[in-house]
Amino acid sequence: MPKQGYGGPLERIDDCCWRIPRDYKAGMRVEGRIFADDRLMEHIRADQAPEQVANVAFLPGVQTASLAMPDIHWGYGFCIGGVAATDPLEGGVISPGGVGYDINCGVRLLRTNLFRTDVQPRIEQLMNALYRGIPAGVGTGGPFLFDRNELRRLMTDGVSYLAARGWATPEDIEHTEAGGCIDGARPEFVGDKAIKRGGDQCGTLGSGNHFLEVQVVDEVFDEPAARTMGLNENQICVMIHSGSRGLGYQVCDDSLAALRKAPARYGIELPDRQLACAPVHSDEGQEYLGAMRAAANYAWANRQLLMWQTRELMGEFFGRPWESLEMELIYDVAHNIAKMEEHDMEGEKRLLCVHRKGATRAFPAGHPEVPSRYQQIGQPVIIPGDMGRASWVLVGLPGAMKKTFGTTCHGAGRVMSRSAAIKHAQGRRIDRELAEQGIIAKCRHWKGLAEEQPEAYKDVSVVVDVVHRAGLAGKVARLRPLGVVKG
């Protein structure tokens, strides 16, 4: 993360939105917009991420504005929290920097019929069982092994392929974004190295900011929406955050190498080579989209298998089948993805390529892609926070469709680099500090907890408050951590 801050213009639009004017840099096709309030602007100005918002505005075919959510921080190409929609009919491009290395990193939330009093007295034993049973850590493989042909089917069909193997229910598929499978996946565009890395990593947590967390519903803000989701105060939930593991990382790495010279071939001038891109309808663009979609389907399968293992482990721990614990999936959302979506552009329906880099889809009530259970309230939006404070459940609102192409924030957003966090943790025991708060943290290495300490992040409740007031997503419930497993 760059040390220097942003010195360019930021003009207030309203209490929750700021503008980078189009004339800030010659070549910007649209303005930049950052959703934030005064509490967050101090962090945002201290980072170079707003410069990346301005740079994204150079992309051919970009529509309305280059956008950033309140969890904005420096990333590769796009900032984390960056959103951009391009129109292929206007030469719109696809950029791997607008998706990220961890393709379809995302989060899912399960509810249970357990309550705090059922779990709190045994939380340490439960976290020990989950820690032993859930594969986690850099490069770690798991119990699910797929050969090359099986991987190709999994990358084509996503969670539906697992259902055929008995590892997913119809309800799991219905309550996963895109049904756990984005159309147009082209596994033949996924390289051998990526295939090799993915063979034993589906159903593994990984490392970094990925986690499995046992949580309790701390407060409900929207009773009707919470009731529709099956959430009640003091109820136990499980949140799982992971992505496409080494397979997705390799797909991104390979694609960036393949696209390095594409902008010059198509006469595209960019202020940052990390924004390497190609027109959506070009051969290069279609190849990246096909490989990215395959990795996205792998990621949905990964989170599904992590959930399946969690169900079985908790069923074993509590001595009854997971079905009797009512461990049902509320929803699963993608954070790093580009999707072709229909949006209303001044009264005209247009098919746009929407990049969401560290950002969450937030479709409102009545949208055809919202599952039937949630048609009256809107798509569930799941926003994880740091392991010491809180996470949130929200619903998409109509304002998101008008302002952000149906998008909201994806988390708290870092304020401290991983190296700075490790330095800040010297001489401390993060696990003991969390234990004093009643939170049991398990990790393969002390550096994992040091990198992810609460101080490394913005307060997610402040971030969520901004998107709530901006009308992008509405608060439903706050969840507090009881125990966490990190890689």
CATH of the domain at 403: 3.90.1860.10
Confidence class of residue 1 from pLDDT cuts 50, 70 and 90? Answer: very low
Q: Is residue 3 part of a domain?
A: no
> For 46-87, what is each residue's pLDDT tens digit?
999 999 999 999 999 999 999 999 999 999 999 999 999 999
Residue 201 has pLDDT above 80, yes or no: yes
pLDDT of 3 reads 53
pLDDT of 139 reads 81
Q: Is residue 166 part of a domain?
A: yes
Instruction: Return d(Cα 425, Cα 143) in angstroms, integer.
Output: 34
Residue-number span of the structural domain to which 23 is assigned: 11-486
In this prediction, residues 186-190 reach a mean pLDDT of 98
In this prediction, residues 388-397 reach a mean pLDDT of 97
- Beta carbons of 99 and 299 less than 8 angstroms apart: no
Q: Is residue 5 part of a domain?
A: no
Q: Is residue 148 part of a domain?
A: yes
Considering its fold, how many domains does the chain have in total?
1
pTM more than 0.85: yes
DSSP H helical ranges for 109-158? 116-119, 123-133, 148-157
Q: From the CA atom positions of the chain, what is the Rg in Å?
A: 21
Residue 2 has pLDDT above 60, yes or no: no
Q: Is residue 263 part of a domain?
A: yes
In this prediction, residues 134-154 reach a mean pLDDT of 93
Q: One of 410, 424, 445, 468 is an active-site residue; which one?
A: 410
> For 97-125, what is each residue's pLDDT tens digit?
999 999 999 999 999 999 999 999 999 99
What phi and psi, each to the nearest 5 degrees, are found at residue 274?
-70, -10
Would you call 410 a catalytic residue per the annotation?
A: yes
Instruction: Return d(Cα 374, Cα 382) in angstroms, integer.
Output: 14
In this prediction, residues 355-369 reach a mean pLDDT of 98
> In terms of Cα–Cα distance, which of 20, 11, 35 is closest to 467?
35
In this prediction, residues 306-310 reach a mean pLDDT of 98
Q: Is residue 6 part of a domain?
A: no
Residue 202 has pLDDT above 90, yes or no: yes
Q: Is residue 104 part of a domain?
A: yes
> For 211-254, what is each residue's pLDDT tens digit?
999 999 999 999 999 999 999 999 999 999 999 999 999 999 99
Q: Is residue 2 part of a domain?
A: no
pLDDT of 393 reads 98
Which residue type does 142 have? G
Tell me the three state secondary structure of residue 76. coil
pLDDT of 461 reads 97
Long-range contacts at 438-441 (CB < 8 A, ≥ 24 apart): 438/482, 439/387, 439/388, 439/481, 439/482, 439/483, 439/484, 440/123, 440/124, 440/127, 440/482, 440/483, 440/484, 441/387, 441/483, 441/484, 441/486
